[in-house]
Amino acid sequence: MNERNIRMRWSRSAVAWTVVFVALMVILAAEGIAEWRNGEPAAGIVCWVIAAVVSVCALWTPLRIIVTDRQIQLCRPVGRLRINRSDIVRVEEVSSGVVLNSFRVGSGGPFGYWGRWQSDSLGWYTLFATNLKDLCLIRLSNGRAYIVSSRTLLLTIKQGVSG
């Protein structure tokens, strides 16, 4: 079985957003811990909420894509999204403008770009990206759509799918 492991390449803006987000969360947590030690119990709750938000974001970070003869696996620290190659009906390039003009439920920069997004032209789709260049739309037979940042993936899939 052929297997191709594609590492996600991070854009400068995704790295910058992640650094700013983590720095802000560290500052807020430090302030919360200081207040909590001074007798403010609500500050302790704020620290736990900040830790939970950062943890969830970090656990959903796009890491790599594994392409086999049967599946495409979108890997993150907590689980994988699996797409059967036989379910793919269309693969095409997508401009970053589609993503930038979408409504998002997920991350729009810190820890990459991921989650469920919705645009007027594509409807709802799952985004799995660390760079808004070289975006690849994967449309499935059940109507689901995925956008992934990988020109390598686009070329690999197109070899086996007419679209």
Cα dihedral 151, 156, 158, 161 sign: negative
Measured between alpha carbons, how far is residue 54 from residues 51, 58, 154 in Å? 5, 6, 31
How confident is the prediction along the chain (163 residues), in pLDDT tens digits per residue? Answer: 578 888 888 999 999 999 998 998 888 888 888 888 888 888 778 888 888 888 888 999 999 999 888 999 999 999 899 999 999 999 888 999 999 889 988 888 889 999 999 999 899 999 999 999 889 999 999 999 999 998 777 777 766 644 4
Query: Number of H helices and number of E strands within the chain?
Result: 4, 10
Q: How far apart are the first and last CA of the chain?
A: 24
